[in-house]
Amino acid sequence: MPQNTPAMLVLADGTVFSGTSIGAAGHTVGEVVFNTAMTGYQEILTDPSYTEQIVTLTYPHIGNTGVNSEDVESGKVYAAGLIIRDLPLLTSSWRCEESLSDYLAANNVVAIADIDTRKLTRILRENGAQAGCIMAAGPASGSSLAASTPDMPLAGMAGEVDEAKALQLARAFPGLAGMDLAKVVSCDQPYEWTEGEWDLAEGYSKAADPEFNVVAFDYGVKRNILRMLAARGCKVTVLPAQATAEQALALKPDGIFLSNGPGDPEPCDYAIDAIAKLVDSGIPTYGICLGHQLLALASGAKTVKMKFGHHGANHPVQDLDDKRVFITSQNHGFAVDAATLPVNVRATHVSLFDGSLQGIARTDKPAFSFQGHPEASPGPHEMSYLFDRFIDLMKTKGEK
Q: What is the mean pLDDT of residues 293-299?
A: 98
Catalytic positions are 289, 373, 375
DSSP designation for 394: H
Helix (H, G, I), strand (E, B) or coil at 82: strand
Q: Is the dihedral of CA 379, 308, 348, 193 positive or negative?
A: negative
Tell me how far apart the alpha carbons of residues 191 and 197 are, in angstroms, rounded to a whole number: 18
Q: pLDDT tens digits, residue range 7-18? A: 999 999 999 999
The percent of residues above 70 in pLDDT, for the chain, comes to: 94
3-state SS, residue 250: coil
Whole-number Å distance between alpha carbons of 228 and 33: 28
Tell me: pLDDT of 146 over 80: no
**Predicted confidence (pLDDT) per residue in 81-133, tens digit:** 999 999 998 999 999 999 999 999 999 999 999 999 999 999 999 999 999 99
The string of DSSP codes covering 252-309 is --SEEEE----S-STT-HHHHHHHHHHHHTT--EEEETHHHHHHHHHTT--EEEEEEE
- Across residues 30-59, what is the average pLDDT? 97
End-to-end, the C-alpha distance of the chain in Å comes to: 61
Q: According to the model, what pLDDT value does residue 400 have?
A: 73
Tell me the pTM: 0.93
The answer to whether 303 and 297 are in contact (CB under 8 A) is yes
| Residue 332 scores a pLDDT above 80 | yes
How many Å apart are CA 375 and CA 64, to the nearest integer?
24
